[in-house]
Structure 1
Amino acid sequence: MIAAARKAFEAEGSGFSVDDVVALAGVGVGTFYRHFRSKTALLDAMIAELLDDLSRLIAPEVDAADAIFAFVHGALRSAPAKLDLVEALESLGNATELQQAIQRLRQQVRGALENAQEAGTITSDVNTDDLLALVSAGMTASARSADQPLRAERIAAVLCDGLRTRDQGTRSA
């Protein structure tokens, strides 16, 4: 049902209706309300899924710094879709599922950041809140840009270069 909601959101923005979602999903309204108590709950679940997608960018089996750099690049590339959903949800309210997804993302970022800092590949003067604030600002700055993909990559490269310890040199991930 979330996939159908994403399609409805892409077509109609936050003005999509529950009827649009159930038609795209091929289910009845009762099925919708058994899964989601409201359209706001559906939007919340959509954003939680997108945040979980970002969390999965931080793969534990790769070098911690590379995982952070993949997260930064992935977050900035996907900025328009995520910011549109966040704006829609902010206009309607907040929910627990979103807060839980944010906590999962924070834990993933914190773990990879601390591992990279212990390995000496990312500067130790940045904490999880700093990194997430920088990524958020980069997402906002690139999301509405006419040259969004290029701008997102430039911002991500600058951010990643700034995260590297001085002895790591500069290079784009």
Structure 2
Amino acid sequence: MSTQSPRGPRADAERNRLRIIGAAARVFAERGSEAGLNHIARAAGVGVGTVYRNFSDKDAILDVLLDEKLDALVALAHGAAKVEDAGAAVRDLMFGVMTMRASDRGLDAVLAEPGRRSRFSAALEEHFVPLARALVEQAIAAGELRPDFRAEEICLLGYMVGAVADITRDSDPGVWERYARLIIDGTRPGAHNLPLTPAALSFADSMTALGRAG
């Protein structure tokens, strides 16, 4: 009679599942929407059949990664909220979002499917945008942020910097930070600032645009 714990197979299966999710996060970060289950299996060190036993298709993995990326963005906002200096707090948030997109193309893959994009947008609007809006309002009140800046623009700015990272990754993988700093410095108030026109996109329109970009 076998003395193996009945938890053994379940524990092995859970380890494989977590290994696949971790590998998928890395592969999608590097390849974006081009990544497939074979890429993920190789990165996880398992057979593609093991991937299929855990996830029916690529979309099922992206559904899991959606939650991880949402949690990461919300964590950035909570971390920035702990910074006492209002200007530094909102700049930390902007740079954090830009860094996340510059180093992770997986968000494009998450946003490529309309249903998943809708869930992502709804969760961001509920959990991320209010935190970002509070930081922006505090920074404007403190004279640390130009008064026509809107919290809803942070995600689009992150995408802009990520696009620079994508096209310079092979030639100079860190140069995106230069453009991130230029953009962030442009949000500071100053006598030379001209009014921003046209008006900022709404959050919903921003998410639609990001979905098209993905």
TM-score by length of 1: 0.70
Match of 1:110 in 2: 133
Match of 2:167 in 1: 144
- Alpha carbons of structure 1 residues 12 and 115: separation in structure 2 relative to 1, 3 Å: closer
Contact 1:77 1:149 in 2 (8 A): no
Listed as ranges, the matches of 1:33-112 within 5 Å are 33=55, 38-58=57-77, 59=79, 60-62=81-83, 63-82=85-104, 84-95=105-116, 97-103=119-125, 104-112=127-135
The sequence identity of aligned pairs, in percent, is: 23
Looking at structure 2, the residues matched to 106 and 112 of structure 1 have their Cα atoms a distance apart, in angstroms, of 10
Q: What displacement does 1:5 show?
A: 2.4
Match of 1:154 in 2: 178
Q: Aligned letter for 1:50?
A: K
- Alpha carbons of structure 1 residues 20 and 61: separation in structure 2 relative to 1, 3 Å: closer
Contact 1:19 1:29 in 2 (8 A): no
Q: Secondary structure at the match of 2:184?
A: helix
For structure 2, which runs of at least 5 residues remain unmatched after alignment? 1-17, 192-214
Match of 1:166 in 2: 190
- Alpha carbons of structure 1 residues 76 and 19: separation in structure 2 relative to 1, 3 Å: closer
Instruction: Please list the CA deviations of residues 106-125 of structure 1 after superposition, one character each: whole Å capped at 9, or x if unmatched.
Output: 22221211111122211111
Q: Aligned letter for 1:116?
A: A
Q: Aligned letter for 1:102?
A: L
Q: What displacement does 1:41 show?
A: 3.6
Matched positions, count: 162
Looking at structure 1, the residues matched to 39 and 162 of structure 2 have their Cα atoms a distance apart, in angstroms, of 31
Match of 2:201 in 1: none
Contact 1:18 1:39 in 2 (8 A): no
Instruction: Please list the CA deviations of residues 8-60 of structure 1 after superposition, one character each: whole Å capped at 9, or x if unmatched.
Output: 54687644328956x9498x668735xxx753142133144224323322322
**1:123 and 2:142 aligned:** no
Q: Aligned letter for 1:94?
A: G
Match of 2:207 in 1: none
Q: Aligned letter for 1:16?
A: G
Looking at structure 1, the residues matched to 94 and 156 of structure 2 have their Cα atoms a distance apart, in angstroms, of 11
RMSD in angstroms over aligned alpha carbons? 3.4
Q: Secondary structure at the match of 1:73?
A: helix
For structure 1, which runs of at least 5 residues remain unmatched after alignment? 168-173
Looking at structure 1, the residues matched to 153 and 31 of structure 2 have their Cα atoms a distance apart, in angstroms, of 34
Q: Secondary structure at the match of 1:149?
A: coil
Which structure has greater helix proportion? 1
Looking at structure 1, the residues matched to 31 and 181 of structure 2 have their Cα atoms a distance apart, in angstroms, of 33
